[in-house]
A and B are shown apart, each in its own frame.
Chain A
Amino acid sequence: MKSREISSFRDPSGYIYYEKGKVFRKINPSYFQEYHHLMDSGLYHELVQNHLLIPHHEIISNSKEIILEVEKVPYISYPYEWSFDELKDAALLTIHINQVAMKYGMILKDASSYNVQFIGSNPIFIDTLSFMFYEETSPWGAYGQFTKHFIAPLVLMKYVDVRLNCLLENYIDGIPLDLCSRLLGHKGGIIGYLHIKLQDKSIQRHNQDGSVSARKVSLSKKDILNMFSMIERQIKKLSLQKYVTEWMSYYEHTNYSSKAADSKRKIVKEFCSKLSFTNQDLIFDIGSNDGTYSRLIESVFPSYVIAFDIDSNAVQSNYHRSSSEQKNILPLIMDIWNPSSNIGFANRERSSFMDRGCASLTLALAFLHHLVISNNLSFEMVAEFFSKITRYLIIEFVSKEDSQVQLLLQTREDIFDFYSIETFRRVFSQYFDIIDEKTIDQSSRSLFLMEVRDGKSFVK
């Protein structure tokens, strides 16, 4: 059965639909001319060859209809889940595509950050219908959108607080420039002044008098190209100050002895050897920190690993490493206590974490005690949550005697009488079959391999 992607309503040129697990794009006749130019001019070929645009092949192509089958993105992510450098790379990709398109007489008609997705740690442009003919002397119509979707969050993350990309979840069409300008105050550097503050003033001024017609704005091709080069340089120069947070160096500063760390790695590998996955399977690493175990898992299975962490800097550090090592890992910012929700029109444009698909395997290492002790979640709530997002689960139980748990209990009353390995085992058994259980050497921690009840078996 066909199901139409609701967020496609924004584009009159066509829409995306899904059928039998495949992704299709129907192109409306009003866009045929542009589409044929994209394909025949060599632009599509250059972009796809350089892994800048999602590839497709034509299923139907005649004078009445064009339907494409588009390569599937393994896991859809959104800009409010990206670290600073992921958003920066997505912005640079958008500008670069414009520069390439201009060579072929085309330009992007929109510059939404949702037009970029990640495959592993590589950004890729997914909206094949975003290209329009470049008209000599016309300014770039998507400049305002580019500012709200990319420049505004980047300067806020750099100059105010790295967590401010969360505003993108509230403002689905980018951060309003008046809000960004107010949050920046006197900060923002030249990029903030030029693109945010002056643009905001220009918007406010022309809102008030309405005297200047946009038709009077005329720019040469050279001016537009110079503008793209300047924006590219300005964005490349933006970088976060280097600082270390708790989670990004977690595995360098744990309470594990080296023997315990070795033992933990060995057990995880042993559990993995009991399972078999393909490149179609998704693996979640929840509370992934710097991605140490995401990389271990990625080396064992051909599957795609999504590494979630609440700490933007840990995600950034993981992204850098995965990107340089060309790993099949997508690091994302996610607060599991308050994961991304369904947003947009009728709450159906961008999917929540829970609606975006399940994993074949989930790793939840050194994570349970944070859910239960720091956030008062019961074992039942945690077990039910995991049973909804994964088929297999490798989970670490950290006992109350462990120094990290003691640290959590130092500042709060110990109301967690139920917190024991016996209760954990009993409660999780209501949702999962426990396949294996091992104690980590020289520690008061245990690892469990579980399979959700009534799940399709992947055990070798």
Chain B
Amino acid sequence: MFKIGCDYMYFDPGTGSLIIQLLVAGVASLGAFFALFKNKIKNIFLHEEKKDDSHEK
């Protein structure tokens, strides 16, 4: 059975929204960390490629 949202009348839905931010911000920070990690790995390979190119020259 569905629960209809009238309960909000006696409750500040802000609390649930603030708490979920822990998860949302956690996901975002994790994503940012992996993006940074991915870029670092990418840069290492690009750096290696550049080195190889300069050796060939």
Contacts and interface: CB of A to CB of B under 8 A. Distances in A.
B25 A207 contact: no
The bracket for how many chain B residues form the interface is 20 to 34
B28 A227 contact: yes
User: Lowest 3 CB-CB distances: which A-B pairs, in order?
Assistant: A144-B17, A203-B16, A230-B28
Interface of A: 139-141, 143-144, 147, 176-179, 182, 194-195, 198-199, 202-207, 210, 212-214, 217, 219, 222-224, 226-227, 229-231
A140 to B, nearest CB: 7
Query: Chain A: interface secondary structure?
Result: helix
B46 interface: no
Contact of B17 (A147, A224, A229): A147
A176 B32 contact: no
B32 to A, nearest CB: 5
B5 A194 contact: no
A206 B29 contact: no
A226 B19 contact: no
B24 A204 contact: no
A176 B27 contact: no
B27 A206 contact: no
A214 B13 CA distance: 11
B5 A143 contact: no
B25 A214 contact: no
Contacts of A223: 25-26, 28-29
B7 interface: yes
A202 B16 contact: yes
A210 B27 CA distance: 25
B23 interface: yes
B15 A206 contact: yes
Contacts of B13: 144, 177, 203, 207
B5 A214 contact: no
Interface in B1-57: 2-5, 7-8, 11, 13-29, 31-32
A178 B31 CA distance: 27
Contacts of B27: 194, 230
Contacts of B21: 139-140, 143, 217, 219, 227
Contact of B5 (A179, A195, A231): A179
B18 A214 contact: yes
21 contacts: A139-B18, A140-B21, A141-B18, A143-B18, A143-B21, A198-B23, A202-B16, A202-B19, A204-B7, A206-B19, A207-B7, A207-B11, A212-B15, A213-B15, A214-B18, A217-B22, A222-B29, A224-B25, A226-B31, A227-B29, A230-B31
Given A207-B7, A226-B32, A214 B19 contact: yes
A199 B15 contact: no
A289 B2 CA distance: 41
A258 to B, nearest CB: 53
Contacts of B7: 204, 207
Contacts of A203: 8, 13, 15-17
B24 A195 contact: yes
A227 B27 CA distance: 8
A85 to B, nearest CB: 24
A190 to B, nearest CB: 9
Nearest to B26: A223
Given A198-B23, A224-B25, A227-B28, A141 B16 contact: no
Contacts of A210: 11
A214 B28 contact: no
Contacts of B28: 223, 226-227, 229-231
Nearest to A222: B29
A84 to B, nearest CB: 23
A148 to B, nearest CB: 9
